[in-house]
Structure 1
Amino acid sequence: MKIEPCDLPTRPDLVDGARTLLLDAARADGVDAFSEQFVLGITDARLGHRHVLALDGERLLGLAACDDASCELVVAPGARRRGVATALLSELEGRDVWAHGNLPAARSLAEKHGRTMTRRLLVMAVEGEALREAARFEPRGDVEALDLVESVERFGRDAVEEAWLSANNEAFSWHPEQGGWDRERLSRAQEADWFAEEDVLFLWAVGEPVMAGFHWTKWHTEETPAFGEVYVVGLASAFRGRGLGDPLLRLGLAHMVGKGAQRVILYVEAENVPAVRVYQNLGFGISEEHAVWSQV
């Protein structure tokens, strides 16, 4: 086995093998080993991801990917228990590593190498009658709901995207992945093949182009039936404490139910106990978790 640093976007001969590896691992584990950004980083050099390969000749046994904040790794199901994960992990000394699904084998490997779980990200889901109940949106007189298409028609794209970025960065000033966005980062996010402008919803102050909050929904078609996701939801600082969080969440749920969603998921930090309780009160339950393992 050979461990080899690699810049995958410059190696199209290896990209198909990396994608096949990820698909095989997802089928075996029931959860994707790489998050959306790391999948994009296999071919998008703009993300600046660094890769480490575990190779047996030309056969790809395992893959690790890193950005400035963290790393993710995956091992082919047929190559497990052969030291591949250990070899890759040794190349990630001092780096935070995600374990998607936080599966027993990943936990055991991390603990064996002296790592500590420092972050838990929960996946919560709601379906059936509980979803239909949670999707009851009641309009308010102080804000107006518009989707991205309608907002651009009224206020212009530049004004809308600047307001969107401002609200996002206020809501997620603390967040390692979602905070600190700029127009280039927002533009890249909108390049995703699943992105649809009508699935981005805003609450605007009535009578003025001031954004109160946004609810970016995502439609998953990789399963049948398709399902929805509360992708990102946030309030601008000036509109917190006004009771807008609940209608903003319900606005997106109503939109997804209107598209035919029978199930909706979301991601939330486990330590954000108030948010977890809000979602539980709306009928969401924990369906899986992801974890960051660090050397501390």
Structure 2
Amino acid sequence: MSFVHITGRLESDEAAAVIALAEAAHDHDGVAPLSEQTLLRVRHGAAPGTTRFHLIFEETGSRPATLAGFAYTERGPGEPDSAEVVVLPNRRRRGHGATLLRSLVEDAGPDGVRVWAHGRSEGAVALARSFGWTQVRGLLKMRLRLRGDGAAESVPSEQVLPERPLPEPVLSDAVADRLVIRTFRVGADESAWLKANAAAFADHPEQGGVTLDDLRQREAEAWFDPEGFFVAEETETGAIAGFHWTKTHADGAGLTDGEPVGEVYVVGVDPAWQGTGLGRALTLVGLHHLRDRGLPWVLLYVDEENRAAVGLYESLGFTLWDADVMYAAP
């Protein structure tokens, strides 16, 4: 027998159980079932009314109930809820995924709910189809080989593309005279970065809504390194015109067997500076940083509808690796 517990705040033992469940699913599937944002919410919580946690338990007689699955919803005004679902590998094919999906629908805000499926797994696709849901958004996962001897764990060696030389980051004289590219200063740049990020991602429901608390949570993560966080500062005003925040995955992120790899974590350019070549230059500054650290691979995520960004990454040698899909009711 199973039951679903819905809450806006996880107790410490519940959070630990969710983290363990996500790790078990990651080990089994080879794909992280929950995004970094969700894991931060599990560990740190969020403002009241913005998150909902759905935990499905299996009762096992006299023993404590076992956490068999988990779903998370982020709720914002004027937008459908954004959700993720994961079921413990040894508790699958018992209807828990469908139960959690129904729970999300019944508990959704006035604009409904949309659910992410990471890696386009067969189970997620089948579950979405069984509910009559269709894809409404796609997030491409791309990769670039930085070092000649790096081999992707998930790809046969004969299919691995050769290393390509990285172009140098170049700004036009008119742009270079007005900007300086430097690394992020913790404790000094947060406010300016948040303003630039909100402007660059005004139409992006997740990235554009990053708050100071969100930023500080990431600064506290073990992977955070300000030396890999580049900002382009306007020399006259001190405002941030653009940025490239890189990240290092110590576990290889599925590209290697435990050797660290890099990520183009987020690149943003203020609308006033778009079309100047700043985005390409910042991207290359970060890629050179990751390559110079000796990392064999770099990955990134990009909305498949953002053709300008996809074209930029393809021009630098990135190729499609995988994709995440967001589903919604018709």
- Using the size of structure 1 for normalisation, the TM-score is 0.90
- Unaligned stretches of 5+ in structure 1? none
Alignment of 1:256-271 (within 5 A): 256-271=290-305
CA distance 1:3–1:89, shift in 2 (3 Å) = same
2:318 and 2:329 map into 1 onto residues whose CA distance is 32
CA contact (8 A) 1:214 1:235 kept: yes
Structure 1 residues 14 and 135, CA gap change in structure 2 (3 angstroms): farther
1:284 maps onto 2:302 in alignment: no
Q: How far did residue 261 of structure 1 move? A: 1.5
Question: CA, structure 1 residues 8+182, in 2 after alignment: closer, same or farther (shift >3 Å)?
Answer: closer
Q: Higher helix share goes to which structure? A: 1
Give the AA of the match of 1:203.
A
Matched letter for residue 279 of structure 1: Y
Q: Give matches, 1:211-230, under 5 Å.
A: 211-223=240-252, 224-230=258-264
Aligned residue for 1:96, secondary structure, equals strand
SS of the residue corresponding to residue 32 of structure 2 reads coil
Distance 1:10 1:120, change over 3 A: closer
In structure 2, what is the Cα distance between the partners aligned to 1:41 and 1:205?
34
Write out aligned runs for 1:162-181 (5 A): 162-181=191-210
In the alignment, the residues of structure 2 paired with residue 180 and residue 19 of structure 1 have an alpha-carbon distance, to the nearest angstrom, of 24
User: What is the DSSP-based 3-state SS (H/G/I as helix, E as strand, rest coil) of the residue aligned with 2:181?
Assistant: strand
Q: By how many angstroms is 1:32 displaced?
A: 0.7
Aligned to 2:135: 117
Query: Are the counterparts in 2 of residues 3 and 87 from structure 1 also a CA contact under 8 Å?
Result: no
Indicate the residue corresponding to 1:25 in structure 2. 25
Q: Structure 2 counterpart of 1:52, which letter?
A: H
**Structure 2 unmatched ranges of 5 or more:** 60-64, 76-80, 106-111, 149-161, 253-257
Q: CA deviation at 1:80?
A: 1.2
CA distance in 2, matches of 1:237, 1:17: 42
Task: Give CA-to-partner distance per residue, 1:189-223, whole Å, 9 cap, x none.
Answer: 32323212222101223455232211111111123
Which stretch has the larger CA shift, 207-216 or 278-287? 207-216
CA separation of 1:238/1:49 partners in 2, compared to 1, >3 Å: closer, same or farther? same
Corresponding residue pairs, total? 289
Q: Quote the sequence identity (%).
A: 35
Find out whether 1:60 has 2:67 as its counterpart.
yes
Secondary structure of the 1:194 match is coil
- TM-fit CA distance, 1:139: 6.2
Cα shift at 1:254: 0.8
On the 8 A contact 1:135/1:257 being kept in 2, the answer is: no
Distance 1:123 1:11, change over 3 A: same
- Comparing 43-52 with 217-226, which one deviates more in the overlay? 43-52
Q: Please tell me whether the aligned partners of residues 28 and 77 of structure 1 are also in contact (alpha carbons under 8 angstroms).
A: yes
